[in-house]
Amino acid sequence: MKLKYVIYSLIFAGIVYLIYHRISVNKKLENSGMGPGAKGSGSAKGGKSQNMLVNGVVIQATSFANKLDITGTIEANESVALQSEVSGLITGIYFKEGSNVTKGSLLVKINDRDIQAQLQEALTKQNLSATNENRAKQLLQKGAISQEEYDTALADLKSLKAQAQLIRAQLAKTSIIAPFSGKIGLRSISAGEYITPTKIIANLLSTDPVKVSFSVPEKYMSQIKVNSTITFRTDGSAQIYTGKVFALEPGINSQTRTLQVKALAPNKNNELRPGSFAKVSLTLDKIDNAILIPNQAIIPVLRGKTVFISQNGKAKQVDVQSGTRTDENILITSGLKIGDTVLTTGALSLKDDAPVKVTVVK
């Protein structure tokens, strides 16, 4: 029991000593003007507040190209899946896979012997009807037949001409012609195969130039113009390509709130492949006297964004409105002016009217 009391006594004595030591230290700090109760706490001699050391930049007018970076897709200028309009046996394939073909060239021929026979029959009937019509016309001039009899002969001739024309149209469908010049892909048919209208023969693409399709947010739609220049690159190449906007969708997509845009880009070496992913950079406008400040100077707040500037040796908080942000800077559209010194460090610990000493960083 005595040992227990001795331990308690030692603990109590230790606590008393710590309290006495803390009081002594506080009194020394107060006497030296540095304690919590001293006047001008945190102040230098003479009662003046110590200046906070911060970095800042002086705003200067600069030229700024407002660019929008978006993603898009490369498309063929023209694209078609070749198919036959009639069924039949393939008698000839006149293209090489992966080759260039010219508009109007014969690509595939389908057996047309039965249609040729129908055409010959129709032409024979047409010639006979033409002879009858000519004879009836002569008889009508002599008054040997009535006008009604001649009209019947003329109607028969016109009917047979129409039938022959219809057969010629069917005959033309047995020849599959290239609708435009371009590169033809891999074929899925063989000579002697029976083809139907549902069978895709091959894909034909026109890839010089190519189209670049992309969408821009609704708020930028007034800045997108026809003939605007774009730059883009693909994952398969480090080269930067250029193109020009040639068409805008007349309406905004109600679900994505974006405007669909298409541009044309030359592709003489066929380096750009349809379906490729494109990283597009679009210059919206150019500002000659733009105000740019470092990103770290911006302080997000509930009502928007603010920055601190140095004014008469003190920090002043200013509300700003911003525009495009780059990797290093942000465009300020209102709230600042040329010549203002924007503080770039200590933003989270600064307060209005706090004395500051600014080191201007260039």
Of 232, 255, 286, which marks where a domain is finished?
Answer: 286
> In the prediction, which pLDDT does 160 show?
93
> In the prediction, which pLDDT does 114 show?
93
> In the prediction, which pLDDT does 26 show?
58
Q: Which structure tokens are listed for 14?
A: 């230790």
> In the prediction, which pLDDT does 130 show?
93
Q: Does 188 lie in the same domain as 225?
A: no
Q: Does 317 lie in the same domain as 240?
A: no
Q: Does 304 lie in the same domain as 256?
A: no
CA–CA separation, 344 and 293 (whole Å): 9
Identify whether the C-beta of residue 100 lies closer than 8 Å to the C-beta of residue 181.
yes
Q: Find all residues with CB under 8 Å of 104, minimum gap 6, and list them.
A: 177, 178
User: How many CA atoms lie less than 13 Å away from 127 in the CB half-sphere?
Assistant: 5
Q: Does 125 lie in the same domain as 105?
A: yes
Q: For the whole model, what pTM was predicted? A: 0.62
CA–CA separation, 40 and 88 (whole Å): 103
> In the prediction, which pLDDT does 6 show?
62
Residues of the chain with pLDDT under 70: 1-6, 8, 16-18, 20-49
Q: Does 207 lie in the same domain as 174?
A: no
Asked, for residue 32, whether it belongs to a domain, the answer is no
CA–CA separation, 198 and 82 (whole Å): 10
Q: Does 312 lie in the same domain as 332?
A: yes
Instruction: Print the domain residue range for 293.
Output: 54-64+288-360
Q: DSSP states of 128-151 as a string?
A: HHHHHHHHHHHHHHHTSS-HHHHH
Identify whether the C-beta of residue 77 lies closer than 8 Å to the C-beta of residue 209.
yes
> In the prediction, which pLDDT does 30 show?
52
Q: Which structure tokens are listed for 231?
A: 């730059």
Of 241, 258, 286, which marks where a domain is finished?
Answer: 286
Asked, for residue 19, whether it belongs to a domain, the answer is no
